[in-house]
Structure 1
Amino acid sequence: MSVLPLVFTSGWASGINAYAVVFLLGLMGATGISDEVPAQLERTDVLVVAGALFLVEAVADKIPYVDTAWDAVHTVIRPIAGGVVAALIAGQDGSLPQLAAAAVGGTTALASHLVKAGVRMGVNTSPEPASNIIVSLAEDLGVSGIIVLALFHPLPAAIIAAVALVLGVITVIFIMSRIRRYWRRWQARRAARRSRLVQPL
Structure 2
Amino acid sequence: MSVLPLVFTSGWASGINAYAVVLLFGLLGATGVTDEVPASLQRPDVLIVAAVLFLCEAVADKVPYVDSVWDTVHTVIRPVAGAVVAALLAGHNGSLPELAAGAVGGSTALLSHLVKAGTRIAVNTSPEPASNIVLSLAEDLGVAALIAFAVFHPVAAAAIAGTLLIGGIALVIFLWSRIRRYLRRRRQRRAQKRPATTSGATGAVPPG
- Fold shared, TM-score > 0.5 on shorter chain: yes
Q: What is the letter of the counterpart of residue 37 of structure 2?
A: V
Q: Which 4+ stretches in 1 moved above 6 angstroms? A: 92-96
Aligned to 1:50: 50
Aligned to 2:20: 20
Query: Are the counterparts in 2 of residues 83 and 101 from structure 1 also a CA contact under 8 Å?
Result: yes
Query: Are the counterparts in 1 of residues 34 and 151 from structure 2 also a CA contact under 8 Å?
Result: yes
In structure 1, stretches of 5+ residues that fail to align are none
Q: What is the letter of the counterpart of residue 191 of structure 1?
A: A
Aligned to 2:116: 116
Aligned to 2:35: 35
Q: What is the letter of the counterpart of residue 122 of structure 1?
A: A
Structure-1-length-normalised TM-score: 0.95
Query: Are the counterparts in 1 of residues 2 and 95 from structure 2 also a CA contact under 8 Å?
Result: no
Q: Distance in 2 between matches of 1:138 and 1:127?
A: 20
Against the structure 1 CA distance between its residues 143 and 93, is the aligned structure 2 distance closer, same or farther, given a 3 Å change threshold?
closer
Aligned to 2:84: 84
Alpha-carbon shift at residue 75 of structure 1 (Å): 0.6
In structure 2, stretches of 5+ residues that fail to align are 202-208
Q: Distance in 2 between matches of 1:13 and 1:96?
A: 19
Could you report, residue by residue, the CA deviation over 1:82-139 in whole angstroms, capped at 9, with x for unpaired residues? Answer: 0000000000699971110010000000010011111111111011111111111110
Against the structure 1 CA distance between its residues 132 and 107, is the aligned structure 2 distance closer, same or farther, given a 3 Å change threshold?
same
Q: Distance in 2 between matches of 1:184 and 1:168?
A: 22
Query: Are the counterparts in 1 of residues 29 and 36 from structure 2 also a CA contact under 8 Å?
Result: yes
In the TM superposition, 1:93-132 aligns within 5 A as 97-132=97-132
Aligned residues: 201
Q: Distance in 1 between matches of 2:4 and 2:150?
A: 11
Q: What is the letter of the counterpart of residue 175 of structure 1?
A: L
Structure of higher CA gyration radius: 2
Task: Using the aligned pairs only, state the percent identity.
Answer: 69
Structure-2-length-normalised TM-score: 0.92
Aligned to 2:144: 144
Q: Distance in 2 between matches of 1:79 and 1:4?
A: 17
